[in-house]
Chains A and B, each alone.
Chain A
Amino acid sequence: MEKYLPIHNNQTVDIDAIPVLPYEIFREVNTGLILEDPESRHCVQYFGMRQNSKVKLFCCIADDKTQMINVSATVVSESDTLSAFTDAHLSFHNFEREIHENFGIQFINHPWLKPLRYPFNRADKSKTIANYPFFTIDSEELHEVGVGPIHAGVIEPGHFRFICNGEQILHLEIQLGFQHRGVEQLMLQKKKLLQRATLAEGLAGDTAVGHSVAFANVWESLCSYKPTPDIEFSRTLALELERMAIHTGDLSAICTDIAYQLGSAVYGRLRTPLVNFFQEWGGNRLAKGLIRPFKNQFPFTLALGERLDNIFNEYEPDFTEMSAELFRLPSALSRLERTGTVSFDDVLAIGTVGMSARMSGLNRDVRSSHPFYFYNTLNHKPIIKHHGDVYSRAQIRREEVWQSMGYIRNLISQIPTETAKNNSSISKPKPNAFCLTMVEGWRGEISHCAITDESGELALYKVKDPSFHNWLALALAVRNNEISDFPICNKSFNLSYCGFDL
């Protein structure tokens, strides 16, 4: 009997085709896959779904070499005490915390089995966000610093608890969940496609393109719809433009946090023409409403292509000039270099994705490992840095801006003229189906997964924002740094609270 079912990115399969294993074998297979080749395999999704009085667990391990995702399942009880995956490989830690929180399943030998986001439908309601069990230390010399949930700037809420020795951070624990608004449940309750698309683009408003592309992929795959080239074109372009816009804004924010006024102002204003282009194209600066399943809502015209080309011609010299200055300015570099470092071994152990992996030499990029749309032909080469510090993260942003601009220029040299036909005869989702998608957003790997019931209705919708993997990297990055460097570390990761909290 097969131990797992290999599927392609965006592939819909019959739910019964996924092998159901006894838990011990299920654990051995999935942890074994990772331990065998931790660099090119990682866990994309691992979640539970209620099934009668039992819980069915699904585990999806992506293999970058075969470009497949290996899916397997097991059935357990809520009262079960299971031996933890995390004991074998740390990268499973948040997945098991989530399963524990949602269903009450106990895991033994899990080092950190704490609440994850306090969802409204958690198993143990006596645990509330106000009494999170922080790690504490009994010491005369050390002190604790609590920050949040409301922070000094206009940003999302989360609580950071530092244990410091004077100015030096020894330990940081990040408590999230404040943004939990129940999106996964709302996905099932709100039945209109437009409602679901709206929920998807609000999963993380700064990644509206990434998450709405992921939703469209899942939905279209469930309905056996193959997007036309013009739809794929628009989505690829939007993903890359979103990356450029956010990276530019992040470089501005990094400059703000080191009190470098010139960089802050110049990068800040350079972002505006990019987001305003989204408005010219689809009517919203964050590209909300731009991407809808089955549709090319706002076809990308030749005139838009010309306009974007002009924007780039003005943007590029100023961006390059500013970057040349920032990346050789000693006072800036002294704040960026060797600050907030995470080693290759650590990112591999905790299983980060996207930029937070590429900063330390770990090649994780869905655009090259599980390509979709135009990435099949763009022949994407991920930008990899090796020091894992703020400087590496800033460098990745600078270089990905140039790279994405190149891709977009390449794309707009051949704008598809034909637009999608009116899809009035859209089929319904397949019944008893399972679909998984991976999309490389600007933060990293976004994954959505859907399961339908026997009537083709959604039975489960599971979302994983890249921040799910990456928050722990921030906690490790600040160790042994000055607490005053926390803002720059945090900004250089720029992780999502709402994408994590759902």
Chain B
Amino acid sequence: MLNNIKILYHNGKQFIPDVRNAKVPGIFRGRPIISSAKVDADELVELCPMGAISKNPVSIDLGKCTFCGECALRFPDKIRFTTDYKIATNEREQLIVKEGVDKPIEVNPAKVRKEIHKLFHSSLKLRQVSAGGDNSCEWELNASNNVQFDISRFGIEFVASPRHADGIAITGPITVNMAEPLQLCYDAVPEPKVVVLVGTDAISGGIYSGSPALDRSFLDKYPVDLYIPGNPAHPLTIINGLLDLTRKKK
């Protein structure tokens, strides 16, 4: 008993009180800012392993980016990754960051389905489906619910059965072998259902894009309610994204 109290005392308070404004330690690579500096755009485009960078104007697609930071290391005057982790949005085109534009990436409340605000504003239960994921986004989704990030304080939880869920959170590029289980899971979720894509692999196929072992036709059939980029997505990105989706800004 005494030992337990000692351990609890040493454990202290671990939770992050304000997940909306918490600072991330070290050299976190969040939303990039692209300056108007002149560089060899072709070299920049060629450098990116993900094909996430385009020219005229220079832009980075965060739905394809793995946040490896190679471009910022090679072209420090052109590209800088900030520690802004709030990069989840419900509009795919917002993930494309253009040169000379420094504005936050947000959930556009006008585009959020009415029933999401109405039904899920204080409780959202998601069924996670790993469809070819490399276990990194799954890892960070679990971390979102540890004693530090504690996403469940907001009524957001990952549940065991699709029958108990309000929607699905997909990780991974969606493999041929997971296409059917994913469909079955989606069908088992009661209406109205939310679809959330977590991580670069889910949003664009990531580094696996073009592989014949993928079947991404699921995404052609159903609208996506939230894109949470990252490789893997950071717990703070996940939490803020889900909060912004379900809660109207006051």
Residues of A bordering B, CB below 8 Å: 118-121, 129-130, 149-150, 152-157, 177-183, 185-186, 189-190, 192, 194-195, 197-199, 202-206, 208, 262, 265-266, 268-269, 272, 276-277, 279-286, 288-289, 297, 317-318, 321-322, 324-325, 496-498, 501
Interface size class of B (residues with CB under 8 A): 35 or more
Q: Is the CB of A181 within 8 A of B147?
A: no
- When distances are taken between beta carbons in the complex, the residues of chain A under 8 Å from B146 are 268-269, 272
Q: Among B3, B11, B27, B207, which residue has its beta carbon within 8 angstroms of that of A186?
A: B207
- When distances are taken between beta carbons in the complex, the residues of chain B under 8 Å from A120 are 176, 211-213
Q: Which of B61-69, B101-109, B116-124, B219-227 contacts A (4 or more CB under 8 A)?
A: B61-69
CB distance from A103 to the nearest CB of B (A): 18
Known: A153-B160, A156-B130, A198-B49. A181 touches B67 (CB 8 A): no
Q: Among B66, B68, B143, B173, which residue has its beta carbon within 8 angstroms of that of A181?
A: B173
* A285, B28: Cα distance in complex, Å: 9
* A182, B178: Cα distance in complex, Å: 13
Most interface-central of B4, B10, B211 (chain A CB within 10 A): B211
Q: Which of B31-39, B87-95, B132-140 contacts A (4 or more CB under 8 A)?
A: B132-140
| Nearest A-chain residue to B129, judged by Cβ | A150
Q: Among B69, B131, B210, which residue has its beta carbon within 8 angstroms of that of A157?
A: B131
Q: Is the CB of B135 within 8 A of A283?
A: no
Q: Is the CB of B178 within 8 A of A157?
A: yes
* A79, B11: Cα distance in complex, Å: 63
B window 155-207: CB within 8 A of A: 158, 160-161, 172-173, 175-178, 180-181, 185, 201, 206-207
- When distances are taken between beta carbons in the complex, the residues of chain B under 8 Å from A268 are 146-147
* A321, B2: Cα distance in complex, Å: 12
What are 6 inter-chain pairs, A to B, with CB distance below 8 A?
A156-B130, A262-B8, A269-B14, A276-B26, A283-B29, A288-B66
Q: Is the CB of B26 within 8 A of A280?
A: yes
Q: Is the CB of A186 within 8 A of B131?
A: no
Smallest CB-CB A-B distances: 8 pairs: A205-B136, A280-B26, A205-B134, A182-B213, A194-B49, A152-B160, A120-B213, A289-B68
* A443, B143: Cα distance in complex, Å: 20
Query: Can you add 17 more A-B contacts, CB < 8 Å, to A153-B142, A182-B214?
Result: A118-B177, A120-B211, A121-B212, A154-B138, A157-B178, A178-B175, A178-B177, A179-B132, A190-B49, A194-B70, A202-B134, A204-B135, A265-B14, A272-B146, A276-B25, A318-B10, A496-B135
Q: Is the CB of B68 within 8 A of A155?
A: no
- When distances are taken between beta carbons in the complex, the residues of chain B under 8 Å from A130 are 180
Asked if B241 is an interface residue, CB under 8 A from chain A, the answer is: no
| Nearest B-chain residue to A197, judged by Cβ | B49
| Nearest A-chain residue to B145, judged by Cβ | A154
Known: A194-B49, A194-B70, A280-B27. A203 touches B147 (CB 8 A): no
* A155, B139: Cα distance in complex, Å: 8
Asked if B7 is an interface residue, CB under 8 A from chain A, the answer is: yes
- When distances are taken between beta carbons in the complex, the residues of chain B under 8 Å from A155 are 130, 135, 138
Q: Is the CB of B207 within 8 A of A157?
A: no
| Nearest B-chain residue to A328, judged by Cβ | B3
* A154, B10: Cα distance in complex, Å: 29
| Nearest B-chain residue to A196, judged by Cβ | B49
Q: Produce 1/0 per residue, B1-26, CB < 8 A to A.
A: 00110111011001000000000111
Q: Is the CB of A498 within 8 A of B133?
A: yes
Asked if B53 is an interface residue, CB under 8 A from chain A, the answer is: no
Asked if B234 is an interface residue, CB under 8 A from chain A, the answer is: yes
| Nearest A-chain residue to B211, judged by Cβ | A182
* A152, B127: Cα distance in complex, Å: 9
* A197, B11: Cα distance in complex, Å: 38
* A281, B28: Cα distance in complex, Å: 9
* A501, B172: Cα distance in complex, Å: 13
* A203, B201: Cα distance in complex, Å: 13
Q: Is the CB of A199 within 8 A of B133?
A: no
* A480, B142: Cα distance in complex, Å: 31
CB distance from B138 to the nearest CB of A (A): 5
Asked if B50 is an interface residue, CB under 8 A from chain A, the answer is: yes
- When distances are taken between beta carbons in the complex, the residues of chain A under 8 Å from B148 are 269, 272
Q: Is the CB of A498 within 8 A of B134?
A: yes
| Nearest B-chain residue to A117, judged by Cβ | B177
| Nearest B-chain residue to A298, judged by Cβ | B27
CB distance from A109 to the nearest CB of B (A): 29
* A118, B178: Cα distance in complex, Å: 11
CB distance from B125 to the nearest CB of A (A): 13
| Nearest B-chain residue to A307, judged by Cβ | B26
Q: Is the CB of B211 within 8 A of A186?
A: yes
Asked if B232 is an interface residue, CB under 8 A from chain A, the answer is: yes
* A342, B155: Cα distance in complex, Å: 41
- When distances are taken between beta carbons in the complex, the residues of chain B under 8 Å from A186 are 207-208, 211
Q: Is the CB of B11 within 8 A of A318?
A: yes
Q: Among A149, A202, A269, A286, which residue has its beta carbon within 8 angstroms of that of B178?
A: A149
| Nearest A-chain residue to B182, judged by Cβ | A150
| Nearest A-chain residue to B158, judged by Cβ | A154
Q: Is the CB of B207 within 8 A of A498?
A: no
- When distances are taken between beta carbons in the complex, the residues of chain B under 8 Å from A324 are 3
Known: A192-B49, A289-B68, A318-B10. A150 touches B181 (CB 8 A): yes
| Nearest B-chain residue to A265, judged by Cβ | B147
* A340, B68: Cα distance in complex, Å: 40
Known: A150-B129, A154-B158, A283-B69. A206 touches B136 (CB 8 A): yes
Q: Is the CB of B140 within 8 A of A285?
A: yes
Known: A186-B211, A192-B49, A198-B66. A321 touches B6 (CB 8 A): yes
